[in-house]
Amino acid sequence: QQEAAKVFPVSLRDEPPKVDGRTDEDWAEAEWVAVDEQTQAALCVAAGRLYAAFRTQEPALLDNSGESGLEMLFKTGGAIDLMVGTDPAAPAGRAAPAPGDLRLLIARVEGRTVAAAYRPNVPGTAKPLVFSSPARTITIDRVDDVSAAVEAASERRTVTRQTWRGPQTETFYDYEVSAPLEVLGLAARAGQEIRGDVGILRGRGGETCERVYWHNKASGVVSDVPSEAALTPALWGTWRFVAPAPAAPDR
């Protein structure tokens, strides 16, 4: 918690990437960060949408049973997990979520893209959702179904490398997701910084068995509902929105 927040550059692009599950072309110039040893992630903003790309060795990263409903999507399998502090004026070291902090979970349930926006602090909420265990209880003011606004795609990719043993082929799986800035309540401007994190949930047999993130390394709990539901912005990193470099003049 005392470690300085790392910076994740989020490029502001003129042209949006195509959400087709391929990262070899549209993301060739992206700045990738490590989520863990098997997974990398990149972010960009274009045409009023936030885009995220993941390169991993997980063939079924998004598979989720969804059997416990949208509110418990984080318990029932795999997903892409985006933590976003949309208000740049919110205190950077806040222990509790501020208005504008949200978590966007994106998964596939029976072949259909499902996305849930968890908003823990919405002023004026009368009946928040309660997440309890014998250890503690937390509340989240709203969980919104934003599936219709979110795009997701994946593709299998093979890479052949020359090694001292000869050519070696590795298989990777690329994932792309996209959500409107309006749905997130995010206004991305060049030079602006916000708190944020990116991660994945790994699932097996209809249950979430692992949680890993780029910045929050204290996220390994998968047996306590409040811990898995909670947003902890004090452990997020910094997203910095970066304008595209100016084009070179014609000669």
Burial of residue 249, with CB atoms counted within 10 A of its CB: 0-12 exposed, 13-18 middle, 19 or more buried: exposed
Q: Which helix (H) or strand (E) holds 116?
A: strand 112-119
pLDDT band at 2; cut points 50, 70, 90: very low
DSSP-derived secondary structure for 18-49: P-SS--SSTTTT---EEEETTEEEEEEEETTE
d(CA 23, CA 41): 10
Q: What's the 3-state SS for 94-139?
A: CCCCCCCEEEEEEEEECCEEEEEEEECCCCCCCCCEEEECCCCEEE
d(CA 236, CA 85): 9
pLDDT tens column, 11-60: 999 999 999 999 988 999 999 999 999 999 999 999 999 999 999 999 99
Alpha carbon separation from 161 to 65, 166, 173 (Å, rounded): 36, 8, 17
pTM score of the predicted model: 0.93
Residues 192/241, Cβ–Cβ less than 8 Å: yes
Compute how many other C-beta atoms are within 10 angstroms of the C-beta atom of residue 75.
20
pLDDT tens column, 196-226: 999 999 999 999 999 999 999 988 889 999 9
d(CA 212, CA 77): 13
Query: Counting runs of H as helices and runs of E as strands, what totals does the chain give?
Result: 2, 15
Question: Which of these, 249, 237, 244, lies nearest to 41 by C-alpha position?
Answer: 237
The strand pair at 7-12 and 39-46 is best described as parallel
Q: Which residue has the higher pLDDT, 250 or 190?
A: 190
d(CA 235, CA 232): 6
d(CA 250, CA 3): 45
The strand pair at 237-242 and 7-12 is best described as parallel
Q: Which helix (H) or strand (E) holds 181?
A: helix 181-184
Looking at residues 123-135, what average pLDDT do you find? 95
Share of the chain above pLDDT 90, in %: 84
